[in-house]
Amino acid sequence: MWYEGHLETWQETPDENTVKFFEENENLGPIDFTKIDDPSVLAGWRDEQDPDWIMDNTKFPWITIDEINVPWKDIYEEANHLLYTACYTLHRPMASGWLSLAIHGISSVHTNCAEDYNLPEDYEQTHSRWTDIADLCPRTKEWMMDEMLYDKFMRVRFMALLPGGWLGAHRDRHKITGVGATNVAINNPDGCEFVMGGWGKVDWVPGVAKKMNTGYEHAVWNRSEEPRIHMIFDGQPGDAFKEQVNRGYARMLGA
């Protein structure tokens, strides 16, 4: 079996709202990224020489980063192995088969923000560290330290969605200006779709990273026969990483 823990609320069919969300958004046409932002967003980055400019001002649903070397097969082997050891914890109530495991953070099983555990708001800033899981994922840890170009990691999680599993339609924040966490596809089996309201399917490819705008409503549904594993990075990207994001943005505009 994929997961030895107790799946308390396993429900293979998503709730009615999520099914409707997929029906309305999954097959939307290609996105014309040139029509989303005012041209001043790209110009501002070049004029202001501020590496945060685009990430703070764009309304893109995501920005694809093409320059990160991701040894996704090695990482998948380490992360998938842990699905057999009951290391993962159930994540979010409006979901089924949606599991999380932190390689860096407060602990391996504290996969939500600090406030959810009645901890001070800055607790992740002051107490995040490599968890015990890091020792079981040496290749992943090595890659994070060598390639991700973050000044500081906070919560870094494996996110697994089991076959037949789903994450209900939701927003993680109220605003749609600016992008947030970095999402890296470790694998993304055919039949597993990440859909964003008004935009359609996200074009995930194993080994590709994206800065995500989770102010837009989104949902995930794994209609394949294998687990889908991504990694989500919260923390402080370095300027070199931010410039990779900015160049990815320019490429998406054809600029």
CA atoms within 13 A on the CB side of 69: 6
CATH of residue 103's domain is: 2.60.120.330
The predicted model gives 115-133 an average pLDDT of 94
169 domain residue, yes or no: yes
Domain span at residue 224 reads 22-252
17 domain residue, yes or no: no
The predicted model gives 187-208 an average pLDDT of 97
Look up the pTM and report it.
Answer: 0.94
Domain count along the chain? 1
Helix axes 138-147, 72-81, angle to 10 degrees: 140
What is residue 92's predicted lDDT score, i.e. its pLDDT?
79
14 domain residue, yes or no: no
The predicted model gives 160-166 an average pLDDT of 93
Q: How far apart are CA 113 and CA 42, in angstroms?
A: 32
The predicted model gives 92-120 an average pLDDT of 92
* Partners of residue 98 on adjacent β-strands: 161
190 domain residue, yes or no: yes
Q: Which residues contact 48 (CB under 8 A, 6 or more apart)?
A: none
Q: Is there a contact between 62 and 212 (Cβ–Cβ < 8 Å)? A: yes
3, pLDDT greater than 80: no
What is residue 10's predicted lDDT score, i.e. its pLDDT?
58
Burial class (CB in 10 A: 0-12, 13-18, 19+), 204: buried
The predicted model gives 204-217 an average pLDDT of 97
- Residue 214's nearest CA partner among 244, 168, 188, 175 is 175
